[in-house]
């Protein structure tokens, strides 16, 4: 009974902290702008199964992608055992899901095998991060704390797998020595138990209990660390893929307020009507975090910071300052900075800082070629160009700020109706001396 009380208190604290964090993040979403309507659920489910659960984009780097997929699939299987532990902790039962019969044995065997595979994968990840210089792990946005954060998260996952194997090993040996029937199949833990001899039943019981508590407490700790970590994508990546833009990558969304104004201008009944003063004019484009859409902010929370986007960006490869990963990370950082202040003081709060310039420079934005290589490579379907283009729209439409060549293009369109500096009357001058041979 004492175990159940302690577990219940621990679970309530965990859920309380997690709920507070979740509500805090949700409160920031109300300051963002609308995005596309979420429909075509069948198509979205297909994309989610292919990209998120199938890990298809991860396999573009087949070796390291395979190990990452093992970690993801391992978590999908092991979560069933974690759910069972929560039920056991609250009710005082042991292996409560054994009522599933053969299915239970398959799940436990899969979890036991994946625990070893995930542990091996995590050791490979840690080795690459600590001892190898992987170029895409570096960048101006990748601070020292970012690397520490990644190493801590990976270490916790490793400890989770070790504690799970130790728990299963202690369970098997205890049941074997006492002559009690064990429930489930644990191939890896059974193999490990062959190397442990001459132990007392009580020692294995202690090993089982200590590993059980270590494992479940690490889960509770990890769950509450994730929202403040790059590994928040453990929760956010699957729904982010489900909420992907379904339009072709090269299609940029129109600005609804501009489209509406143009339609009003083309309508003879409203073209000369006096503007309504009831609603303040909307900001064109994105200057600060609250100008971004909810999907842009969702992308920033789901970002794995893997650097695959930046590693294929032609602007970054040629030495320009643009890093698509940095743009997405900066949006999350800016919302973390300003979001609490807007919650306290309202959406119109101004701290004399902004996402544009204080976090992201115009030089970065104008380096983007909108080739969409970053969006195509992203393993969780983040669409970087939509945010970059919206920030450039603000620069052009609100500040008339753009590189000189683009300003010249705008001027030519305004004056000549074309991107070139020649008037409409001179457009066919190139053909006046041509001899036409018509047979």
CA angle 3, 221, 378 (to 5 degrees): 145
Confidence (pLDDT) at 404:
87
What domains can you pick out in the chain, each with its CATH number? 2-30+61-233 (1.20.950), 256-271+281-422 (1.10.1060)
Q: Tell me the C-alpha distance between 315 and 363, whole Å.
A: 11
Local structure of 360: helix, strand or coil: strand
Over residues 272-296, the pLDDT tens digits come to: 665 555 556 678 899 999 999 999 9
Q: Tell me the C-alpha distance between 3 and 28, whole Å.
A: 38
Over residues 222-265, the pLDDT tens digits come to: 999 999 998 899 999 999 999 999 999 989 888 887 887 778 77
The separation between the first and the last C-alpha atoms of the chain, rounded to the nearest angstrom, is 102
Over residues 328-368, the pLDDT tens digits come to: 999 999 999 999 999 999 988 999 999 999 999 999 999 99
Distances (CA, A) of 249 to 95, 376, 377: 48, 8, 11
- Confidence check: pLDDT of 6 > 80: yes
Confidence (pLDDT) at 304:
92
Using CA of residue 116, residue 121, residue 123, residue 126, what is the dihedral sign?
negative
Confidence (pLDDT) at 277:
54
Distance of CA 31 to the CA centre of its chain: 20
Confidence (pLDDT) at 46:
96
Rg (CA), the chain: 28
Q: Tell me the C-alpha distance between 399 and 289, whole Å.
A: 18
Over residues 155-180, the pLDDT tens digits come to: 999 999 999 999 999 999 998 888 88
Q: Tell me the C-alpha distance between 54 and 81, whole Å.
A: 22
Contact 264, 195 (CB under 8 A): no
Q: Tell me the C-alpha distance between 256 and 284, whole Å.
A: 10
- Confidence check: pLDDT of 41 > 60: yes
Confidence (pLDDT) at 436:
58
Over residues 113-125, the pLDDT tens digits come to: 999 999 999 999 9
Distances (CA, A) of 274 to 261, 277, 279: 13, 9, 13
**CB-neighbour burial class of residue 58 (10 A; exposed 0-12, middle 13-18, buried 19+):** buried
- Across the range 129-133, mean pLDDT stands at 89
Over residues 55-65, the pLDDT tens digits come to: 999 999 999 99
Q: Pick the closest to residue 395 from 438, 370, 425, 366 (CA basis).
A: 366
Q: How does the average pLDDT of the chain come out, rounded?
A: 91
Over residues 184-226, the pLDDT tens digits come to: 999 999 999 888 766 788 889 999 999 999 999 999 999 999 9
Q: Let me know how long the chain is.
A: 439
- Reading the block at residue 324, the tokens are 């698509």
Q: Tell me the C-alpha distance between 95 and 30, whole Å.
A: 42
Position with higher pLDDT, 11 vs 276:
11
Confidence (pLDDT) at 186:
94
Burial pattern 403-416, b for ≥16 Cβ within 10 A else e, equals eeeeeebeebeeeb
Contact 387, 286 (CB under 8 A): yes
């Amino acid at each position: 009974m004492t175990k159940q009380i302690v577990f219940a208190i621990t679970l309530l604290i965990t859920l309380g902290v997690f709920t507070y964090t979740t509500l805090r993040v949700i409160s920031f979403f109300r300051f963002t702008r609308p995005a596309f309507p979420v429909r075509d659920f069948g198509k979205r489910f297909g994309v989610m199964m292919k990209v998120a659960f199938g890990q298809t984009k991860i396999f573009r780097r087949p070796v390291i992608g395979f190990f990452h997929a093992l970690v993801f699939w391992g978590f999908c299987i092991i979560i069933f055992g974690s759910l069972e532990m929560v039920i056991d902790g609250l009710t005082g039962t042991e292996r409560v899901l054994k009522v599933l019969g053969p299915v239970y044995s398959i799940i436990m065997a899969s979890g036991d095998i994946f625990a070893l595979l995930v542990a091996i994968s995590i050791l490979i990840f840690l080795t690459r991060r600590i001892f190898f210089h992987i170029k895409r792990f570096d960048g101006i946005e990748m601070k020292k704390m970012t690397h520490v954060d990644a190493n801590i998260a990976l270490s916790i996952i490793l400890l989770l797998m070790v504690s799970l194997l130790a728990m299963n090993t202690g369970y098997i040996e205890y049941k074997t020595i006492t002559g009690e029937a064990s429930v489930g199949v644990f191939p890896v833990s059974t193999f490990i138990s062959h190397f442990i001899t001459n132990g007392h039943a009580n020692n294995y019981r202690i090993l089982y209990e200590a590993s059980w508590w270590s494992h479940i407490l690490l889960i509770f700790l990890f769950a509450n660390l994730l929202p403040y970590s790059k590994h928040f994508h453990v929760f956010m990546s699957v729904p982010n893929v489900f909420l992907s833009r379904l339009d072709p990558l090269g299609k940029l969304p129109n600005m609804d307020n501009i489209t509406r104004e143009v339609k009003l201008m083309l309508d003879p009944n409203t073209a000369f009507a006096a503007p309504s003063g009831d609603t303040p004019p909307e900001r064109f484009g994105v200057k600060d975090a609250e100008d971004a859409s909810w999907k842009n902010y969702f992308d920033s929370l789901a970002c794995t910071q893997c650097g695959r986007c930046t590693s294929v960006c032609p602007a970054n490869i040629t030495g320009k300052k643009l890093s698509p990963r940095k743009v997405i990370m900066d949006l999350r950082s800016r919302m973390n900075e300003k979001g609490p202040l807007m919650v306290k003081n309202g959406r119109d709060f101004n701290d004399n800082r902004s996402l544009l310039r204080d976090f992201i420079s115009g030089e970065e934005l104008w380096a983007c070629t909108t080739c969409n290589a970053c969006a195509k490579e992203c393993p969780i379907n983040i669409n970087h160009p939509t945010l970059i283009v919206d920030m450039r729209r603000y620069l052009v439409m609100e500040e008339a700020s753009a590189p000189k060549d683009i300003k010249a293009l705008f001027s030519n369109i305004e004056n000549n109706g074309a991107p070139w500096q020649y008037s409409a009357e001179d457009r066919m001058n190139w053909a006046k001396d041509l001899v036409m041979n018509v047979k």
